[in-house]
Structure 1
Amino acid sequence: MKNQDIIKLNDLRQQGKGAAEIAETLNLPLNTVKSYLRRHPEADTSRVCPQCGKPVVQKEGRKEKKFCSDKCRNQWWNSHQSEIKKEAYYTLVCQFCGKEFESYGNQRRKFCSRKCYGNHRKKLAGKVFSG
């Protein structure tokens, strides 16, 4: 079955259609539709992957999933960059070189790069040993 067939099948299933009616509507073999329905009893038709249309299987007691896999999640976010909430960007000043830099999600960051952090540590070590 193609992804489009799965999406249509889930829509018809949500409307309360039976296997025979779904098979006839989608022009699929009845046993194919029955097998799909039997293999996916837990598939909540209201939760389908926005990237590929497959049902999203939710494990009980876990955070609600929106995508069927990490691959689909990454593909969707890479193709929808404008929808990312960029609220956690902070403009900071590097304590070693004084250059302004942006940090995502961490407003307590002190250095713009690992290189500046390393140079800062070397500078401190030099003061301790020479002083």
Structure 2
Amino acid sequence: MHWSWLIAHEIVQAKNVPAMEGVDIEWVHPTEQASLEAAQAMVTAYGMNNLNVAPALSSNHTRGTAINMNISWSGTLTIAGSNGQDVAINTLPQTGMNAQLQAVSLGYGVRKFVGGNTDIPHWSIDGH
């Protein structure tokens, strides 16, 4: 995903993409235009057209220690805290941006993204 985004945005030429063990992608096509079009097709297929930066080569997501999820509810959300006691979350907003929900998640070693509203669905082991 990283390299396809860079090729599609004409930041890197396909011929300059380094080989990566376990990644069997033929970046170089018969023409530079064909390489560019193939990379753009990949960007579109992975839903990356609206990204402002290339996806990272290494991140909490690639290491399996982060997840993007949108959370919402109505009424009072009752969940078990890490101590086994139920916690009633009855404050606003009723989304993953809720401070009570984030406090409960810390007990499980899960942190909301530290950058505020810039990556609302992101949760990880360290908030990054």
TM-score of the aligned structures, taking structure 1 as reference length: 0.21
Which structure carries more helix by proportion?
1
Which structure carries more strand by proportion?
2
Q: Relative contact order (alpha carbons < 8 A, sep ≥ 6): 1 or 2 greater?
A: 2
Q: Computing the radius of gyration over CA atoms, which structure comes out larger, 1 or 2?
A: 1
